[in-house]
């Protein structure tokens, strides 16, 4: 089975995100970048398939800035077999999906796994959009994939349990979580990844127009500073507890 994972490079989750002086972007200088967390789960899910069946080929691709190469390298170090980069400094979400559809047409994976959303814009658009462009069905926010006769079973967490869907191949799913935490690149994996070539193509060279419906960011700001709370201090523990419970019920209306 060949599995393709489109991934996105985002600021590492440990980065303290700061709004840039222009007020419409974030400070990117000097920050560290990583594979978006849900994409990492998708990679882990694919590599778990590869652990079970070593003939599995796992490929990753990204549409993004030149620095995204590091994220692909990281995926190779985790154990992915192939990686390719489509460079575009800016591309509308639908253009990204179009580029990925082209990659799918060319490389013919049996299964495409996308992270359910990227941790920068938290949109969750590209996965379902890619399925739409390909004319495939998709299953969203899965936690497990099991190969079965004639396709794959895709497990999806819903309230009170898991829906299990069977999809014929080729199939696409967006990933909520893998069974295990994403693995760490091993040191030999890093050395091996260094020797692998990562072919690169510009979005325009694929004949894809980077424009499409998108938003314009008007402003960005950090979450508002809170304050002006009150300290409850009259009475003993029991009395304060009762005041607080009453305030939460009648004043804040959260009980």
Partner 1 sequence: MRPFVGATERELAGAVADWASRKGVAERIPAAEKEGALPRDVIAELGHLGVLGMTIPETDGGLGASAVAFALVLEELSAAWPSLAVGVAVNSGIVAGSIVRSATDEQRKRWLPKLMDGTGLGAFALTEPTSGSDAASLRTTARPDGNGWRIDGRKQFITNARYAPFAIVLARAGEFDPKRTSAGITAFVLPLDGPGVSVGPSEQKLGLRASDTSALIMENAAVGADAVLGEVGKGFAIAMAGLDGGRIGIAAQSVGIARRALEIARAYAKERRQFGRPIADFEGLRFSIAKAESDLAAARLLALRAAWLRDRGRPFTREAAMAKLYASEMAQRATHAAVQILGGNGYMRDYAVERYARDGRATTIYEGTSEIQRIVIARSLLAA
Partner 2 sequence: MKTLVVAERKGSELRRVTLELAAKARELGDTALVEIAGERYSPLPFVSALAKKVESEKPDLVLLGATLNGRDLGARLAARLGRAYAADVTGLRVAGNALELDKPMYAGKVRAKVRLDLPAVVSVRPGAIPLKGAAEAPQVEKIEADGSAEKLTFVKLAATATGTKRVSLSEARVVVSGGRGLKGPENWHLVEELADALGGAVGASRAVTDAGWRPNEEQVGQTGKTVTPDLYVALGISGAIQHLAGMTSSKVIVAVNKDPDADIFKIADYGIVADVFEFVPAFTEAVKKARA
Can you give the binding site for partner 1, defined by CB under 8 A? 77, 181, 184-191, 194
Identified binder of partner 2 from the candidate list 52, 66, 164, 191, rule CB under 8 A: 164
In whole angstroms, the minimum distance from the beta carbon of 81 to partner 2 comes to: 28
> Is position 122 an interface residue for partner 2 (rule: CB under 8 A)?
yes
DSSP secondary structure letter of residue 204:
G
> Is position 187 an interface residue for partner 2 (rule: CB under 8 A)?
no
Burial letters 8-24, b for 16+ CB under 10 A, else e: bbbbeeebeeeeeeeee
Q: What is the distance, to the nearest Å, from the Cα of residue 175 to the centroid of all Cα atoms in its chain? A: 8
Of 120, 78, 129, 75, the residue nearest 100 (C-alpha): 129
Identified binder of partner 2 from the candidate list 153, 183, 190, 196, rule CB under 8 A: 153
In whole angstroms, the minimum distance from the beta carbon of 140 to partner 1 comes to: 27
Q: Which residue's CB is nearer to partner 1, number 35 or number 208? A: 35
> Is position 125 an interface residue for partner 2 (rule: CB under 8 A)?
yes
**# chain residues binding partner 2, by CB under 8 A:** 79
Q: Which residue's CB is nearer to partner 2, number 57 or number 240? A: 240
Residues 144, 176: Cα–Cα separation, whole Å = 9
The piece of 41-49, 59-67, 186-194, 219-227 that touches partner 2 (CB under 8 A) is 219-227
Contact status, residue 196 vs residue 76, Cβ threshold 8 Å: yes
Of 156, 53, 152, the residue nearest 111 (C-alpha): 152
* From the list partner 1, partner 2, none, partner contacted by residue 21 (C-beta under 5 to 8 A by kind): none
Residues 197, 206: Cα–Cα separation, whole Å = 19
* From the list partner 1, partner 2, none, partner contacted by residue 207 (C-beta under 5 to 8 A by kind): none
Q: Which residue's CB is nearer to partner 2, number 187 or number 255? A: 255
Contact status, residue 137 vs residue 122, Cβ threshold 8 Å: no
Q: Which residue's CB is nearer to partner 2, number 160 or number 207? A: 160
Residues 29, 15: Cα–Cα separation, whole Å = 11
> Is position 117 an interface residue for partner 2 (rule: CB under 8 A)?
yes
In whole angstroms, the minimum distance from the beta carbon of 77 to partner 1 comes to: 7
> Is position 249 an interface residue for partner 2 (rule: CB under 8 A)?
yes
In whole angstroms, the minimum distance from the beta carbon of 186 to partner 1 comes to: 4
> Is position 170 an interface residue for partner 2 (rule: CB under 8 A)?
no
Residues 231, 182: Cα–Cα separation, whole Å = 43
Q: Which residues contact 74 (CB under 8 A, 6 or more apart)?
A: 34, 35, 185, 193
């Amino acid at each position: 089975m060949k599995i393709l994972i489109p991934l996105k490079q985002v600021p590492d989750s440990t980065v303290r995100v700061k709004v840039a002086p222009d007020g419409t972007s974030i400070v990117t200088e000097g920050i560290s970048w990583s594979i978006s967390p849900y994409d990492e789960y998708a990679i882990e899910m694919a590599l778990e398939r590869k652990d079970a069946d070593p003939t599995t080929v796992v490929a990753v691709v990204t549409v993004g800035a030149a620095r995204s190469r590091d994220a692909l390298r990281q995926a190779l170090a985790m154990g992915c077999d192939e990686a390719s980069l489509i460079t575009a400094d800016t591309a509308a979400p639908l253009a990204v999906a179009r580029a990925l559809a082209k990659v799918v047409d060319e490389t013919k994976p049996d299964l495409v796994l996308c992270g359910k959303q990227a941790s920068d814009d938290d949109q969750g658009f590209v996965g379902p959009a890619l399925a739409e462009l390909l004319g495939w069905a998709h299953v969203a926010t899965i936690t497990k994939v099991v190969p079965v006769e004639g396709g794959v079973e895709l497990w999806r967490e819903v309230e009170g349990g898991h829906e299990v869907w069977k999809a014929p191949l080729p199939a696409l799913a967006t990933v909520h979580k893998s069974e295990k935490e994403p693995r760490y690149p091993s040191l030999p994996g890093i050395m091996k990844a260094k020797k692998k070539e990562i072919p690169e193509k510009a979005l325009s060279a694929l004949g894809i127009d980077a424009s499409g419906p998108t938003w314009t960011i008007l402003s960005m700001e950090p979450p508002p500073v809170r304050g002006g709370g009150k300290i409850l201090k009259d009475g003993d523990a029991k009395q304060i507890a009762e005041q607080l419970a009453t305030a939460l019920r009648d004043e804040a209306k959260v009980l």
